[in-house]
Amino acid sequence: MTTKITNFTFDKKHSKLAADIIKKYPAEGKRSAILPLLDLAQRKYHIQICTTTPCWLRGSDEIVKACEQTLKIKCGEVSSDKKFSLVEIECLGACVNAPVVQINDDYFEDLTNESIVEIINKMKDRKKLLLPKRKAMIGQDDPACHAARGRTKRTDIMFGSAGFSYVYLIYGMYYCLNFVTEIEGFPAAVLIRGTHVISPENQYLNGPVI
Ligand code: FES
């Protein structure tokens, strides 16, 4: 069955957001704002919380609890305003940064109770969300550091001078770009986990959190 909507208006807050979107388009191309406006009108958030063992060990139960309390629903339910749905799922393939949640097309990693509540509240208020874009790996004492098990042929570059970059393949799918950041002999790097698309040429970037 198709429902025909004959009169639709944004509320005050979303009217302002719609006006901001329209402003971005040149006078002769205002009609091109239709897609982001449709997105604004329809936006819903499907929150998928990974509760498989690595995420569970890193506190996914608490993330579930924080989501349920913030949204006042249980997993498997939809919020009363129909904007949020919540489910538990199996491994999202980003265990190294557990606990992990996928919301629509985006991954949110290394979450804490506070950060997931902040993310949900920003979504509720439709505030701009800046995804975590990088992850630092600092020294051999950092268990997430690629060189945590010492200097090998594979990790040699991390023990070199700052400024070098290296790429590794993860999950057989994603190429992850890292920059070495510390003095020679001290393994440290920054993993670039996301980018902003600023021109059509780089819109094909791909990755677990891009
Ligand atoms: S176990 Fe959660 S991402 Fe793999």
Q: Which residues pair with 48 in a beta bridge?
A: 87, 102
Q: Which range, 47-61, 139-153, 178-192, is most confident? A: 47-61
The pLDDT score that the predictor gives to residue 40 is 76
The pLDDT score that the predictor gives to residue 3 is 45
Find the distance separating the first CA and the last CA of the chain, reported in whole Å: 36
The pLDDT score that the predictor gives to residue 201 is 55
Residue 199 has pLDDT above 60, yes or no: no
Residue 203 has pLDDT above 80, yes or no: no
The pLDDT score that the predictor gives to residue 94 is 78
Q: Which atom of ligand 1 is nearest to the CA of 60?
A: 2
Residue 185 CA to ligand 1 center (angstroms) comes to 32
The pLDDT score that the predictor gives to residue 210 is 38
Residue 102 has pLDDT above 50, yes or no: yes
The pLDDT score that the predictor gives to residue 4 is 57
Residue 190 is inside which H or E element, if any? strand 188-192
Q: Which atom of ligand 1 is nearest to the CA of 54?
A: 1
Mean pLDDT on 88-94: 88
Given a contact cutoff of 8 angstroms between Cβ atoms, the answer to whether 67 and 49 are in contact is yes
* Count of all residues that appear for the chain in the document: 210
The pLDDT score that the predictor gives to residue 194 is 60
Tokens 């971005």 appear where? 24
Torsion angle in degrees (nearest 10) through CA of 136, 142, 146, 152: 140
Distance CA 133, CA 18 (A): 27
The pLDDT score that the predictor gives to residue 33 is 85
> What strand order describes the sheet that includes 174-180?
134-138, 188-192, 174-180, 165-170
Mean pLDDT on 126-144: 69
Residue 91 CA to ligand 1 center (angstroms) comes to 4
> Vertex 63, ends 128 and 116: CA angle to 5°?
15
pLDDT in tens, 35-81: 888 877 777 899 999 999 999 999 999 999 999 999 999 999 999 98
Residue 11 has pLDDT above 50, yes or no: yes
| Domains with residue ranges and CATH for the chain | 43-124 (3.40.30.10), 134-202 (no CATH)
Given a contact cutoff of 8 angstroms between Cβ atoms, the answer to whether 50 and 58 are in contact is no
Distance CA 180, CA 163 (A): 6
Q: Pick the more confident residue, 197 or 143.
A: 143
86 lines ligand 1 (CB under 6 A): no
For the chain, give the percent of residues with pLDDT over 90. 34
- Tell me what the pLDDT averaged over the chain comes to: 82
50 lines ligand 1 (CB under 6 A): yes
Given a contact cutoff of 8 angstroms between Cβ atoms, the answer to whether 109 and 100 are in contact is yes
100 lines ligand 1 (CB under 6 A): yes
